[in-house]
C-alpha cells in the first residue's frame, strides 16, 4: 500500500489544472521579461519548479 492510494483523482486533476495555469502565467512573464534580467532568471526558476510539480502529479496519476 502506497501513501498515494487515498488521494482522490479529481483532486489531482484540479492540481494539474492549477499547475497548468502556473505554467501559462510564468511563460507569459518570460515573454515579457527581456528587459528585466532578474525577472527572466527568476521566471526560469519558477518554470523549473512547475516542471517538478508536473512530474510529481503525473507520477501519482500513473499509479
For the chain, the domain total comes to 1
The answer to the question of residue 5 being in a domain is no
- pTM here is 0.81
pLDDT tens digits, 3-61: 566 778 888 889 999 999 999 999 999 999 989 999 999 999 999 999 999 999 988 87
Cβ-based neighbour number of residue 43 at 10 Å = 20
Task: Give the list of residues 6+ apart from residue 55 with CB closer than 8 angstroms, or none.
Answer: none
Query: Distance (Å, rounded) from C-alpha 60 to C-alpha 63?
Result: 5
Does the pLDDT at position 2 exceed 60?
no
The answer to the question of residue 36 being in a domain is yes
- Angle among Cα 34, 53, 14 to the nearest 5 degrees reads 110
Question: Are the CB atoms for 30 and 47 separated by under 8 Å?
Answer: yes
What's the confidence (pLDDT) of residue 5?
64
What's the confidence (pLDDT) of residue 46?
98
Task: Supply the range of the domain harboring residue 28.
Answer: 10-61
The answer to the question of residue 46 being in a domain is yes
Amino acid at each position: 500500500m502506497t501513501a498515494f492510494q487515498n488521494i482522490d483523482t479529481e483532486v489531482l486533476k484540479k492540481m494539474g489544472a492549477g499547475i497548468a495555469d502556473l505554467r501559462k502565467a510564468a511563460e507569459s512573464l518570460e515573454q515579457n521579461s527581456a528587459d528585466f534580467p532578474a525577472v527572466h532568471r527568476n521566471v526560469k526558476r519558477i518554470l523549473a519548479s512547475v516542471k517538478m510539480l508536473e512530474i510529481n502529479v503525473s507520477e501519482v496519476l500513473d499509479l
